[in-house]
A and B are shown apart, each in its own frame.
Chain A
Amino acid sequence: MAILVIAEHNNETLGASTLSTLAAAAKIGGDVHVLVAGSNSQAVAEAASACSSVSKVLHAEHADLAHPTAESLAAIVVANAEGYSHILASASTFGKNFTPRVGAKLDVQPISDIVSVESEDTFKRPIYAGNAIATVQSSDSVKVITVRGTAFDAVEASGGSAEIAAIDAAAHIFDKSKFESQELTKSERPELTAAKVIISGGRGMGSGENFQMIEEIADKLGAAVGASRAAVDAGFVPNDYQVGQTGKIVAPELYIAVGISGAIQHLAGMKDSKVIVAINKDEEAPIFQIADYGLVADLFKVLPELKDAL
């Protein structure tokens, strides 16, 4: 039994989410192979081969894979799927985009966003915005799975020296869709899903300028900045800051929610954080029902004080 993990990367470095996916693969057990599809992505293939739990790296190079489309990537995975009992990718926008396509092509029902491995065919996953946890068993011959990164501790990225085998990609490039452009949010701060500390603002922040106060505290804590959907929809911050069912799922050591009421959709994205702090002037806000430390106060008064106290 062998497991194929599809690497998420930017053609230079292996994504942290891939290391968590490898941890889930290790829990299932068996040989773990990694597929790296990219352009000028030799460094990524080497990084994957250096992971201690990896026994082989399949490396597909093609100019059109600089930003692989789901269509091309799924076709490459399907063409190389023979002999694998499990195909895994992270439950990021990258993994969510192509894995269902792989499932449909292989005529199997994929399992999304697993949070635990019970056995080689049984997994737990949240449903209803994390308000219920389902234990599901798959009867398919190949299990196609996406893995929630925050539920698995990353594997060691060193100590291995797996063989790197080149595989052909040219025959699988899908010509009816094409990557055009991207517009990435630039930030000096840690990536939201990997940060140890996150400070998030909600509608209560009032404006985009006021997020400056949150950013200053984030800089002092080495924290990432997040937001509720209300803050994103109001245009205070870009949408990739959004934490929740429809945004990013995070589980940092410390999550500080400022001016966020705590709607179920938001809680779905952060309630597995180790310590939750809520700062809100409404003492009835649902966020206080899950916060370890709550401070009922006006955030405009508290945030400057908090900045000075750190």
Chain B
Amino acid sequence: MKILVTVKRVVDYNVKVRVKDDNSGVETANVKMSMNPFCEIAVEEAVRLKEKGVATEIVVASIGPAQSQETLRTALALGADRAILVKTEENVEPLGVAKLLKEVIGKESPELVIMGKQSIDGDNNQSGQMLAALLDWPQGTFASEVNIADGKAAVTREVDGGLETVALNLPAVVTTDLRLNEPRFASLPNIMKAKRKPLEETTPADLGVDIAARTTTLKVEAPAQRQAGIKVETVAELVEKLKNEAKVI
């Protein structure tokens, strides 16, 4: 079985982002970038499926600027077999992402697509669901367990009240939650090997997809800042303040 995994290059999750002075967005120049954490989990899951003998080939795809090659090389070092970069300098919305991926999937015909449940920059949590809709495939979102057998995927999903299991006919789209697995680190020999693995480049125009944005970001602001309050010395003082000053208990 062939698996397609998608990865996105985002501002590293440890970075405290700064809103630009002109309110046009968030400062990304000279900021540490890395693979979106949910995408790392997606790559890891695909690699584990290959190690179990379920998957035969892992293709990793990314949409973004030339630097996204680094993110793809990271995925190759983790165990993906080859990579596809849809190169664009535009900021592509989830609808555009889903349309581009649909074309890539049309060429590659994977039986399973694994994506992160959301990117930690846009926080949209949409692309996987939208891709599944465009393909008319079933979806298993927020997965914390995936079992593949007999042309079906049993996906345990993290929902608000607990867990839910759905059975999906393959081909299907699965999006990963944090608890699906613990991603491995790439070893130096694997990083060296990854440099020789194939990385193919294409563009939205080559794929014939219009990625014109449907939404306009008018303004990006810093959220209202909370100020540090006071330190109390004892539990009695804390309870007194909560009762009489804040009046919340």
Contacts and interface: CB of A to CB of B under 8 A. Distances in A.
Interface residues of A, number: 88
A277 interface: yes
A84 interface: no
Interface in B133-167: 133-134, 137-142, 144, 154, 157-167
Given A128-B11, A134-B219, A221-B249, A69 B158 contact: no
Interface string A123-137: 001111111111111
Nearest to A123: B215
A305 B231 contact: no
A101 B161 contact: no
Interface of A: 67, 69-71, 74, 92-94, 96-105, 107-113, 122, 125-140, 174, 176-185, 193, 197, 221, 229, 232-233, 238-240, 245-246, 248, 253-254, 264-265, 271, 274-277, 288-296, 302, 305-306, 309-310
B29 interface: no
B160 A178 contact: no
Task: Tell me the dominant secondary structure on chain B's binding face.
Answer: mixed
B158 A101 contact: no
A96 B235 CA distance: 40
Contacts of B125: 96, 100, 112
A126 B132 contact: no
A177 B167 CA distance: 6
A213 B155 CA distance: 34
A189 to B, nearest CB: 13
Most buried by A among B128, B141, B144: B141
- Report the interface size class on chain B: 35 or more
Contacts of B161: 182, 184-185, 240
Nearest to A248: B160
Contact of A136 (B131, B134, B216, B249): B216
Contact of A295 (B154, B167, B177, B231): B231
